[in-house]
Every structure is written in C-alpha cells, then in structure tokens.
C-alpha cells in the first residue's frame, strides 16, 4: 500500500512528532535541532497518504546557517545549502538517531553511533558502517518537497578519518 512506499518525487514533508503529526513542515519550523518528518504523497483516490507504514521512511531535517553544510553533503539536493534531509534510520541496527546531548551532531541512543549532519552525516563515532542517507529536497512555497530517491553513493569512506583522507 502507498503508506509503505519510500519517499517519492513530489511528496511533501510533514511533521512526525505526535503532537503535530501530518502538519506540513515549514522551512521556518527548522533549526539546528533535529525535526523528524514523514513523506506524504497521494493515495489512489487522490487523498493524502503519510508514508509511515514503513518505519524506514522516517526522516531527520535540519536547517543550518549558510556555509555550514559542506561536502560530502550533496548541496544541490539541499534547499539553498541551508536545509537538509537525511534518513533517520541508523545504519548500524536501525534505531532512530537523535541530536547528541553534547551538542556535536547526531547520536544514536542504541549503541552511541555518531553522525555529522553538516557533513553528509558521515560517521564520527561508534559502530555505524555508513553515513545516514541524504534525501534530495527543494522548497515548495514555505514547505519542502522531495525531488528524487535517496542518494545512492558508493561511500568510499565510512568514518570521518576516511572521508578526510578521501577529500585530499
């Protein structure tokens, strides 16, 4: 069913937090604190379908200051280099990743995997084997729209040190 389909081009992003679930995300709702979202598309009858039937569709959104988001984030798939969307499913064992309580990126509550959302969610600590996957988005009025599938990368790097070496 369509609520289990992955995010599709043309879907809009809506809040996942229970108190606001289904409300369209506004770019102005976002900051450097994680906001979770679901993609929402159309059902067969044209009604809105929140794609939360598959827990792997949960997304993590951030809005940083211009210039703070750098490679390996794919900047063309962000909104103005400021708003970025990632899968919020840890690449280690699938837990939902949260903001680090130390204020340095994201941290997984299950086994302390750490990711840097300003650098393509490259792994900066713990056991995750790969970065969190980036989802291409664009502005849609005050909101956000999906423009493509999750970005598939060969990930020649997995951890921060490998990424730094790969850049050279």
- In contact, 122 and 105? CB cutoff 8 Å: no
Three-class SS of residue 3?
helix
Q: Which stretch binds ligand FES (CB under 6 A): 26-34, 65-73, 126-134, 144-152?
A: 126-134
Report the C-alpha gap between 62 and 163 in whole angstroms.
21
CB atoms within 10 A of CB 74: 14
Q: CA 38, 77, 152, 111: dihedral to nearest 10 degrees? A: -60
**Toward ligand FES, which CB reaches closer, 57 or 78?**
57
Contacts of ligand FES in 61-90 (CB under 6 A):
90
Residue in 15, 36, 51, 92 binding ligand FES, rule: CB under 6 A: 92
Contacts of ligand FES in 100-119 (CB under 6 A):
108, 110-111, 113
- In contact, 108 and 128? CB cutoff 8 Å: yes
**Toward ligand FES, which CB reaches closer, 60 or 90?**
90
* Matching residue, tokens 């606001």: 20
Closest CA to 62 of 6, 93, 106: 106
Q: Which stretch binds ligand FES (CB under 6 A): 24-32, 56-64, 123-131, 139-147?
A: 123-131
Residue in 27, 95, 98, 151 binding ligand FES, rule: CB under 6 A: 95
Residue in 71, 93, 161, 165 binding ligand FES, rule: CB under 6 A: 93
Total binding residues toward ligand FES, as defined by CB under 6 A: 11
Closest CA to 117 of 26, 12, 30: 30
List interacting residues with ligand FES (CB under 6 A): 90, 92-93, 95, 108, 110-111, 113, 126-128
């Amino acid at each position: 069913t369509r609520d289990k389909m992955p995010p599709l081009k043309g879907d809009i992003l809506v809040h996942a937090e229970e108190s606001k679930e289904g409300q369209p995300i506004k770019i102005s709702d976002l900051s450097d604190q994680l906001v979770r979202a679901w993609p929402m598309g159309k059902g067969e009858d044209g009604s809105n379908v929140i794609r939360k039937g598959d827990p792997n569709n949960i997304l993590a959104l951030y809005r940083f200051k211009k210039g703070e988001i750098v490679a390996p984030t794919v900047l063309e798939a962000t909104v103005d280099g400021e708003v970025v969307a990632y899968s919020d499913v840890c690449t280690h064992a699938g837990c939902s990743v949260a903001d680090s309580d130390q204020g340095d990126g994201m941290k997984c509550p299950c086994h302390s995997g750490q990711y840097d959302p300003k650098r393509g969610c490259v792994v900066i600590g713990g056991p995750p084997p790969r970065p969190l996957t980036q989802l291409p988005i664009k502005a849609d009025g005050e909101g956000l729209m999906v423009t493509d599938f999750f970005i598939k990368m060969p990930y020649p790097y997995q951890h921060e040190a490998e990424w730094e070496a790969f850049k050279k």
